[in-house]
Amino acid sequence: MIRVTACLLLLFSPLVALGDTGTLDFHRDVRPILSENCFHCHGPDSSTRQADLRLDLADTARSVLDTDDPESSELIRRVLSNDPDELMPPPESLKQITPAEKEILKKWIREGGSFESHWSFTPPRNVPPPQVANDTWSNGPIDQFILAKLRAENLTPSPSAKRETLARRISLDLTGLPLSPQEMNEFLRDTSEASTEKLIERLMHSPRYGEHMAIRWLEASRYADTDGYQNDRYRYQHVWRDWIIDAFNKNKPYDEFAIEQIAGDMLPNATLRQQIATGFGRNHRINSEDGSIPEEWRTENVVDRVDTFGTIFLGLTIGCARCHDHKYDPISQREYYGLFAYFNNVAEWGVGPNNGNSPPFIEVPKSWPNLGPQEDQLIPPDPVKLRNARADQGNGLKRPQAGSPSTLMVMHELEQPRKTFLLQRGQYNMPDRSSPVQAGVPDSLSHGDQTPPTNRLELARWLFDPSHPLTARVAVNRIWQQFFSTGLVETSENFGSQGSPPSHPELLDWLALELIRNDWNIRAIQKQILLSHTYQQSSQFRNELRDRDPENQLYARGPRSRLPAFTLRDQALAVSGLLVEKIGGPSTKPYMPPKIWKSISNNNYKQDQGSNLYRRSLYTYWRRTIPPPTMMNFNAAAREVCVVRTETTNTPLQALTLMNNKLFIEAARCLAEQMWLPAKGDPEVAIQAGYRRTVGRDSTPVELQIMIKTHRTFLSHFKKNPAAAKLLLAVGERQRDQTIPVVEHAAMTMLANILLNLDETITKE
């Protein structure tokens, strides 16, 4: 009976939320129903439109609405019909409008059937923060928006997180690394009101900040060390990766950051750095298989650039309009190829060389990025012969030697632009030559009567017109996602009609306009979020939120999530003392399963030695056909295409990785040394040191007793099995400290392994 009641509540939840007198919101309540059930046949795509009816436009949709008698409206008559020939959606679509949704549609028509443009296609609204009565909680506009909605739902915020929990949370979010025990102690000793702000400022100015910020941009930009596809040849693109790290560490404004990556080569008097930035446009896969048709794969390269541009900067599924008009959003196929035209003039061949980089590319001095006064030098003229660049121009490239320049694939315009045609069915060999397509942006995103951008540089600048409806919203949504795991718009890759509506639309718009007001300063927005009481709440689950807000969409508690793949590995390196903090340079090859590459090539994976084994995870060599298994086990993006939101899964492989992976075993052994040596073998002192290094706090009395008992068990085991102790301590390349007795070291290693596997350790709380 309880289950039945729960199902009924779920089914009719929209009505429960609205109540009998609540006014409908078109974007929140009505448009999702029409988009999911109707737009496929009655939406923007003219090729599949039925009955010449569009339900996404007010003028045509009103022909099937009767606001005086909703029941007699053609729309309602069809959705209520029992006749399969009249029922909408038709049975063969396998879509079904629920009883609750039918009631919403009737109520909407009764209220006048008002239409509004999709929220994300209108400029952000300048909504002042709400004034909440008796507000003693808010620490700024962010909190005011959050508190107003909590009050409306009769909920209250959670208490503040413990200071050590908050400090660890901030450090993981800004640097991807935990605070050291010394850093934590320094923070806890500072009891001033400004202590948290000082911590944030210090971490934002750490070189580790740029590395951590870069990793998500690398995933979105599909950065990898190989070309992908069947041959998956190696490439040298790490200089672009280092540009990204450097840009974040220098707090480059987001507009400059984006414009230089999209069209840095077209800026007046472009510098070497600005040319390097355009490696963004060449991060796509490249096919080098013998027999490949150059024009086919050149077209695929351009398609990738268009789709990546649409996802990263517009938050739209632009690619859906490659073969036909977009079925849900106002983007026609012709408008898709208008965007295509901006990226269609790169002097590229389409098929990659047998090895190395594909033209156009430049040589970058080994001294970059530390060029000092020379950093703004102009790019060398004609870095490669571009007019007739062919794949075989890259065949003479060898693996870079120490001290030699690095090559980097970049964007470079043809002297004579290519003509762009609409490709029927999206096929490279089916251009509609009867009507060339001019470069242009979708009408739904154009700013009034402005002339459309004429080239790639103007397109990049168009993104940052203050009236642009998407750029700032998409950017701040991903910043929010970085800290709360989910954006204010959950579908950060899709702000279109099939995406999720914003949980707090006024807050999203306020943040977007705040980013613009702060001259696109990313750190300014990050700092406001981190200083908000919304972010600083305890993440402890509260029973009253179990049914009211299980996914924390109302933000009645602080953020809590499992650490991402790269942070899990980096944290293990940091707390064990293994981490090598060198920035930049060619990608490294840490531990991997033996012969991991054999299944797709004759090349063996050749593991690095020494310090390269312990570099941060963003430097790990990324082969597209066989990405690093540890990263993939924890839901890292595969880097084949643009990804701005990764899913979180829980599988047995993850536990096995953390317990048995070579790196994590070696990290446990080295962490054991960090625990045992200062404690001079005292188990209680060593255990407390381990807790401080891994979770940033002292153990509780209960935890301490459990760990002491466990330590005795392991000591007993290894005394009886000294060979097993030696085998355990032999894992990894780093030499162990011989001053620690073997049995003691092995037992402490097992305790360290437990600490590295604690839920609290692998979670941001």
Q: What is the pLDDT of residues 690-730, one digit of tens each?
A: 999 999 999 999 999 999 999 999 999 999 999 999 999 99
How high is the pLDDT of residue 63? 76
Average the pLDDT over each of 126-135, 286-295, 372-381, 406-415 and give the range with the smallest value.
Answer: 372-381
Average the pLDDT over each of 306-315, 360-369, 683-692 and give the range with the smallest value.
Answer: 360-369
**Residues 163, 164, 170, 174: what is their CA dihedral angle, to the nearest 10 degrees?**
150
Tell me what the mean pLDDT of segment 527-532 comes to. 99
Tell me what the mean pLDDT of segment 1-30 comes to. 50
Per-residue pLDDT at 19 exceeds 70: no
Per-residue pLDDT at 379 exceeds 60: no
* Ranges of H-type helices in 92-206: 99-110, 141-152, 163-175, 181-189, 195-204
Helix, strand, coil shares of the chain as percentages rounded to 5?
50, 5, 45
Longest CA–CA span in the chain (Å) reads 89
Per-residue pLDDT at 552 exceeds 60: yes
Average the pLDDT over each of 314-328, 345-359, 650-664 and give the range with the smallest value.
Answer: 345-359
Per-residue pLDDT at 760 exceeds 50: yes
> What DSSP assignment string belongs to 288-335?
--TT--HHHHHHHHHHHHHHHHIIIII-S-GGGGSSSS-SSSS--HHH
This prediction's pTM: 0.90
- The CA distance from 370 to 239, in Å, is 12
Helix pair angle (471-484, 522-531), 10° resolution: 40
Confidence of residue 228 (pLDDT cuts 50, 70, 90): very high
As beta bridge partners, residue 396 has none
Tell me what the mean pLDDT of segment 116-125 comes to. 92
Per-residue pLDDT at 523 exceeds 70: yes
And the tokens for 221? 């930009």
Per-residue pLDDT at 370 exceeds 70: no
Interior CA angle at 366 toward 361 and 372, to 5°? Answer: 110
The structural domains of the chain, with segments of one domain joined by +, span 2-114, 163-206+468-541, 234-462, 660-764
- The CA distance from 432 to 422, in Å, is 6
Q: Is 512 helix (H, G, I), strand (E, B) or coil?
A: helix
Tell me what the mean pLDDT of segment 631-650 comes to. 96
How high is the pLDDT of residue 763? 98
Of 620, 552, 615, residue with least CA distance to 579: 615
How high is the pLDDT of residue 4? 35
Tell me what the mean pLDDT of segment 107-114 comes to. 82
Q: Could you give the C-alpha distances from 211 to 524, 604, 635, 763, in angstroms and in order?
A: 18, 29, 19, 20
How high is the pLDDT of residue 257? 99
Per-residue pLDDT at 403 exceeds 80: no
And the tokens for 391? 């794949």
Tell me what the mean pLDDT of segment 298-315 comes to. 98
Q: What is the mean pLDDT of the chain?
A: 90
Phi/psi region, residue 403 (left: phi>0; alpha: psi -120 to 50; beta: rest), is left
Confidence of residue 449 (pLDDT cuts 50, 70, 90): low
Burial class (CB in 10 A: 0-12, 13-18, 19+), 358: buried
- The CA distance from 143 to 404, in Å, is 52
- The CA distance from 103 to 415, in Å, is 60
Per-residue pLDDT at 375 exceeds 90: no
Confidence of residue 52 (pLDDT cuts 50, 70, 90): confident
Per-residue pLDDT at 765 exceeds 80: yes
**Number of Cβ within a 10 Å radius of residue 616:** 25
**Residues 341, 343, 347, 348: what is their CA dihedral angle, to the nearest 10 degrees?**
-110
Of 447, 504, 449, residue with least CA distance to 28: 504
Residue with tokens 């029927």: 424
Per-residue pLDDT at 427 exceeds 80: yes
Confidence of residue 369 (pLDDT cuts 50, 70, 90): low
% of the chain beyond a pLDDT of 90: 74
Average the pLDDT over each of 397-406, 477-486, 639-648 and give the range with the smallest value.
Answer: 397-406
How high is the pLDDT of residue 653? 96
Q: Are 125 and 149 in contact (CB under 8 A)?
A: no
Per-residue pLDDT at 310 exceeds 90: yes
Residue 530's Cβ-side half-sphere holds a number of Cα atoms within 13 Å equal to 27
How high is the pLDDT of residue 26? 80
For the stretch 686-721, what's the b/e string if a residue is b when 16 or more beta carbons lie within 10 angstroms of its beta carbon?
bbbbbbbbbbbbebeeeebeebeebbeebbeebeee
How high is the pLDDT of residue 384? 39
Confidence of residue 376 (pLDDT cuts 50, 70, 90): very low
